[in-house]
Amino acid sequence: MDWLTSSATEQGRAILAGLVSPMDLADGYLDAISRHPYGSRIYARVTEDRAKTEAMAAHDRARAGLRRGLLDGVALSWKDNIDSANIGTEGGSRLLDGRIPTADAEMLAGASLQGLVCLGKTHMTELAFSGLGVNPGTATPPNSLDPGLCPGGSSSGAAVSVALGLAAAAIGSDTGGSIRLPAAWNNLVGFKPTSGALPMGGVLPLCTSFDIVGPIARTVEDCAEIMAVLARGKVADLRGAAARGLRLLVLGGLPYADAQEAPVQAFEEAVARLSAAGAVITHAEPPQAAQAMALGTPLYAAEALGLWRAQIEAAPDLMNPVTLTRFRSGAQMSAPEFVERWADLRRAQAAWAEAVSAFDAVILPTAPILPPDAARAEAEADYFTQQNMLSLRNTRIANVLGLPSVSVPTGRPACGIMLMGRAGQDRALLRVAAGVEAALKPSA
């Protein structure tokens, strides 16, 4: 069996059963990374010594019957905006060349204590401020389905590392869709927790009001197990999860504006399969989604510029001009407008929660478009801007509403179905997602 392309939980069970050693898994991944023609475009830095040391310790615990959890000994990649002790963490930006933290981010330290093995740091879009996954300043990972297409971002290398069998799972971050979009475009599961659900110490910020980290993996079960490690809490109970009886609201209107045929058709086919599996499907267009998007989207650049202006203006020539323009657009918002928008957004969030309270999840296409051409996105600023804003349009709805959200593959290449749950009810959403996943899996 090719363990390197197995799910993280399958690997964990195999370690428990003595079928594979954490050392063999780590060595296998390290060898695969070094041999892969795109390895250096996926990993910014490989932490070979750390991975081998952690894998050896996990191997010893397994032999002694002292494993710390199901994922003890399983090897993950980490996005390059998550601090790692004595290893560069540069956020995909030349502004941060040579930045070497002295300590792990809080969540990396916690994951290591639970036995997860760190393979290295994956490439990302500059300072996490775009969704296409292209980065002319450092590296653009290939889309796993077609190397000429955008991989999705900003957790680009994170998703591709899993899809190409160079990590069992990955940790990315999501401010406007940066976990779910690359997951969808690489046929993976991506989970964005509720804002504030995880400790963010040691994570380079983009917009702290919306930033959150989360897993990209092969299955919903993988995401649930990884989330329990990151949150240092209980694992979502997925036993018996099924689509039958789920109350799902198909969000109308905004998610389909300027959408391409393939993602919409894939979504509609998925909804039909869910209905056939016993889910109760309702169609509606609660106005709070569009209201929250209109209020919240301009807040991104304003907060991002407030966090990064000093470093950006000290060396603007080091930045991708398109990204620089996006940051500087934040200067257009005044402080009173910023405060007013947040007050209005919180009211819209509360009204949304009331409007959809009868449903287990709200569903929509993860992205309204397929992955664009990567070379064109790097070369043409107007094309980049148009495709980037459209790519993140659907995923951002969950961010501005403050909701947990997950993308699950539909079975069609690069097309995901996205579920949005209730704020703070992350484990409940993962259970719903497991039921959806089971209904959409191809027949054997």
CA-CA distance, 241 to 96, in Å (whole number)?
44
Domains, the chain, ranges and CATH?
3-231 (3.90.1300.10), 247-290+334-440 (no CATH)
**144 prior amide bond cis, ω within 30:** no
List beta partners, residue 43: 122
Average pLDDT of the chain to the nearest whole number = 97
| Residues designated as active site | 79, 154, 178
Average pLDDT over residues 185-189: 98
CA-CA distance, 376 to 355, in Å (whole number)?
41
Residue located via tokens 């023609």:
37
Confidence band for 39, pLDDT divided at 50, 70 and 90:
very high
Q: Is 133 helix (H, G, I), strand (E, B) or coil?
A: coil
Nearest one of 272, 261, 222 to 370, comparing CA atoms? 261
Nearest one of 430, 435, 442, 431 to 191, comparing CA atoms? 430
How do residues 239-284 score in pLDDT, each as one tens digit?
Answer: 999 999 999 999 999 999 999 999 999 999 999 999 999 999 999 9
Confidence band for 444, pLDDT divided at 50, 70 and 90:
very low
CA angle 344, 345, 347 (to 5 degrees): 65
In the DSSP assignment, the letter for residue 174 is E
CA-CA distance, 437 to 228, in Å (whole number)?
19
Number of other residues whose CB lies within 10 A of the CB of residue 313: 12
Nearest one of 162, 140, 178, 192 to 376, comparing CA atoms? 140
Nearest one of 131, 257, 107 to 197, comparing CA atoms? 107
CA-CA distance, 79 to 226, in Å (whole number)?
15
Residue 255's contacts (CB-CB under 8 Å, 6 or more residues apart) are 364, 365, 368, 393, 394, 397
How do residues 322-380 score in pLDDT, each as one tens digit?
Answer: 999 999 999 999 999 999 999 999 999 999 999 999 999 999 999 999 999 999 999 99
Residue located via tokens 């919240």:
296
Confidence band for 443, pLDDT divided at 50, 70 and 90:
low
CA-CA distance, 128 to 423, in Å (whole number)?
23
As given in the structure block, the two tokens for residue 79 are 């996005």
Residue 374's contacts (CB-CB under 8 Å, 6 or more residues apart) are 132, 133, 134, 140, 142, 143, 148, 149, 150, 151
pTM beyond cutoff 0.75: yes
In the DSSP assignment, the letter for residue 155 is S
How do residues 93-132 score in pLDDT, each as one tens digit?
Answer: 999 999 999 999 999 999 999 999 999 999 999 999 999 9
b/e 357-377 (16+ beta carbons within 10 angstroms → b): eebbbbbbbbbbbbbbbbeeb
As given in the structure block, the two tokens for residue 283 are 């169609």
